[in-house]
């Protein structure tokens, strides 16, 4: 599923016509399905450090076709540029230009992934400059790639090697179709923690997960994706959405909990439901959220309060309840849904952007509390996603919103769900307090 315009211009006569008229030609993105190969072709690993050598050996052990040198005219599934030993900006030249000469060999929906270290941890200005240079470089390259190919980066803290479990987990996410709509973004791996699942097809096997706002849209997609990945589901939504909620719950063999999350006892009710049925809770996805758009000049107390209360105050209260519970202690995971509107602001959404900014502030400040319990909390920040809600936006505004990103299209609810499933997995244990944009490198104002 993609929007009708993207389908039109991606094949046959529509494709020819769009080309001649100079219209945007968004590619149909390669999205993950179980059993799908990790990448679409050989993986070129560039960089001359020990970390690059070790990574190449590990990828070989995954049965991938690994190249350390480009083979002329061979179509590539991915280029991985290992830059874990940068000491000055001059160090970028050789590996970057070596990678540049293979860019034309990247196939459709191929991947470019840099692996480097956080500038904030640098011990000198020259090292910091080199590391932050990678950021500008990758974000530019993401805007140059075509045909559904993306460029993203992984930042490894000093204690994390290129083959640490959570570094590899981040790499698998970016290589795979799970990251189809993630472009021009960085994931920070702050500890080596994280364990590979026994069954890579079922990375959430044995996990009990709660999803709020699960009755429709992105919430329903999250529910389906976590179910596909092996989780046992508890679906939360307001009583008014009861019929939809029951239908999705049946589909994923989960249980429905009709609950207004803005109730002060919502956390206790969620825990009670989970513990009664399953004895514990592993994953909480804060997806429920509302919009009540109005220019600030016309904003009223009801619109402001309902959005702040449901989108952020409820998350704070529910987290408090879970963090106090002995039943949320086994490598717990919280994943919140933020928004690019919370990062950059959006006209007519002062209340929504305040609430979603709030979610990101909460996530970063709560990370140490989860770490103390062996867990993590992260957020995804969706850009323009094709839902019933966005389908109601007037046509011209919707078309601009859709195309104003490097992939020239809106994302799908499943794209958001895939990022959440990844962050909820044991393998992602080294990623904590991070915000991952799922926005096709959306042009926003921040």
Where does 257-409 have alpha helices with state H?
266-278, 301-308, 314-323, 340-344, 350-371, 388-391, 395-403
Structure tokens at 297: 């000049």
Measured distance CA(72)–CA(268) in Å, rounded: 61
Select which of 328, 352, 384, 422 is catalytic: 352
Nearer to its own copies, 73 or 301 (CB): 301
Q: Please state, in angstroms and rounded to a whole number, the distance separating the CA atoms of residues 44 and 70.
A: 7
Distance CA 349, CA 403 (A): 20
To the nearest whole angstrom, how small is the minimum distance from the Cβ of residue 279 to its own copies? 27
**233-262: contacts with its own copies (CB under 8 A):** none
Which 8-state DSSP code applies to residue 411? B
Of 125 and 394, nearer to its own copies (C-beta) is 125
CB of 18 or CB of 103, closer to its own copies: 103
Q: Is 5 a catalytic residue?
A: no
Work out whether 134 is an interface residue with its own copies (CB under 8 A): yes
> What residues from 107 to 126 belong to the interface with its own copies (CB under 8 A)?
119-120, 122, 124-126
**Smaller CB separation from its own copies, 122 or 211:** 122
**Own/partner long-range contacts of 366-370 (Cβ < 8 Å, ≥24 apart):** 366/319, 366/334, 366/433, 367/432, 367/433, 368/433, 369/323, 370/323, 370/332, 370/334, 370/432
* 74 forms part of the interface with its own copies (CB under 8 A): no
* Smallest separation (angstroms) from its own copies to the CB of 240: 24
Q: What is the layout of strands, in order, in the sheet containing 43-46? A: 66-67, 43-46, 76-82, 106-116, 150-156, 186-189
Q: Which stretch binds its own copies (CB under 8 A): 1-9, 94-102, 229-237, 254-262?
A: 94-102
With CB under 8 A as the contact rule, which of the stretches 50-58, 152-160, 353-361, 412-420 interacts with its own copies?
A: 353-361
On whether the CB atoms of residues 377 and 432 are closer than 8 A, the answer is: yes
User: Is residue 18 a contact residue for its own copies (CB under 8 A)?
Assistant: no
Q: Smallest distance, Å, CB 403 to its own copies?
A: 13
Q: Residues for the chain: how many in total?
A: 446
- Cross-sheet strand order for the sheet of 376-382: 255-258, 232-237, 208-212, 283-286, 333-337, 376-382, 435-438
For its own copies, the closer of residues 207 and 317 by Cβ is 317
| Residue 104 within binding range of its own copies, rule CB under 8 A | yes
Of 367 and 420, the one with the shorter C-beta distance to its own copies is 367
Options 27-35, 43-51, 187-195, 302-310: segment touching its own copies (CB under 8 A): 302-310
Residue with tokens 């097809």: 201
Q: Which of 16-24, 174-182, 270-278, 346-354 is the region at the interface with its own copies (rule: CB under 8 A)?
A: 346-354
Question: Cβ atoms within 10 A of the Cβ of 49, count?
Answer: 16
Which two tokens mark 414?
């499943």
- Considering the complex, what minimum distance in angstroms separates the CB of residue 142 from its own copies? 6
Is 446 near its own copies (CB under 8 A)?
Answer: yes
Residues 153-212 interacting with its own copies (rule: CB under 8 A): 184
Q: Which of 130, 261, 412, 424 binds its own copies (CB under 8 A)?
A: 130
Count residues contacting its own copies (CB under 8 A)? Answer: 83
290 counts as binding its own copies under rule CB under 8 A: no
Cα 295 to chain centroid distance, Å, stands at: 29
From 39-47, 160-168, 348-356, 413-421, give the range in contact with its own copies by CB under 8 A.
Answer: 348-356
Longest C-alpha distance within the chain, in Å?
64
CB closer to its own copies out of 294 and 327: 294
Catalytic residue IDs: 352
């Amino acid at each position: 599923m993609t929007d009708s315009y993207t389908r039109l211009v991606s094949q046959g006569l529509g494709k020819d016509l769009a080309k001649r008229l100079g219209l945007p030609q968004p590619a149909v993105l390669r999205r993950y399905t179980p059993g799908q190969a990790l990448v679409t072709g050989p993986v070129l690993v560039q960089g001359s450090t020990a970390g690059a050598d070790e990574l190449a050996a590990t990828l070989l052990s995954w049965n991938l076709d690994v190249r350390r040198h480009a083979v002329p005219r061979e179509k590539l599934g991915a280029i991985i540029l290992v830059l874990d030993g940068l000491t000055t900006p001059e160090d970028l030249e050789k590996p970057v230009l070596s990678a540049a000469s293979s860019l034309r060999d990247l196939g459709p929906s191929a991947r470019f992934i840099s692996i480097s270290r956080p500038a904030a941890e640098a011990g000198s200005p020259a090292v910091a400059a080199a590391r932050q240079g990678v950021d500008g470089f990758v974000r530019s390259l993401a805007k140059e790639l075509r045909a559904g190919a993306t460029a993203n980066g992984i930042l490894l803290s000093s204690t994390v090697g290129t083959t640490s479990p959570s570094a590899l987990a981040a790499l698998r996410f970016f290589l795979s179709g799970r990251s189809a709509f993630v472009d021009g973004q960085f994931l920070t791996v702050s500890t080596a923690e994280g364990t590979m699942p026994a069954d890579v097809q079922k990375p959430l096997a044995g996990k009990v997960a709660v999803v709020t706002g699960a009755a429709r849209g992105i919430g329903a997609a999250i529910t389906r994706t976590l179910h596909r990945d092996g989780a046992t589901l508890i679906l939360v939504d307001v009583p008014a959405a009861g019929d939809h909620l029951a239908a999705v719950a049946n589909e994923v063999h989960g249980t429905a909990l009709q609950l207004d999350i803005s109730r002060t006892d919502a956390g206790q009710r969620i825990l009670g439901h989970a513990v009664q049925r399953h004895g514990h809770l592993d994953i909480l996805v804060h997806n429920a959220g509302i919009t009540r758009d109005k220019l600030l000049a016309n904003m009223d107390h009801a619109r402001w309060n309902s959005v702040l209360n449901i989108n952020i105050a409820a998350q704070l209260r529910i987290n408090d309840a879970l963090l106090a519970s002995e039943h949320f202690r086994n490598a717990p995971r919280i994943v919140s849904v933020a928004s690019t509107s919370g990062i950059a602001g959006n006209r007519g959404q002062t209340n929504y952007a305040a609430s979603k900014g709030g979610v990101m502030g909460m996530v970063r400040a709560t990370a140490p509390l989860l770490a103390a319990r062996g867990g993590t909390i992260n957020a995804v920040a969706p850009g323009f996603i094709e839902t019933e809600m966005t389908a109601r936006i007037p046509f011209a505004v919707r078309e601009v919103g859709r195309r104003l990103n490097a992939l020239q299209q809106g994302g799908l609810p499943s794209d958001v769900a895939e990022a959440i499933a990844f962050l909820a997995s044991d393998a992602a244990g080294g990623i904590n307090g991070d915000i991952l944009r799922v926005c096709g490198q959306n042009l926003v104002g921040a």
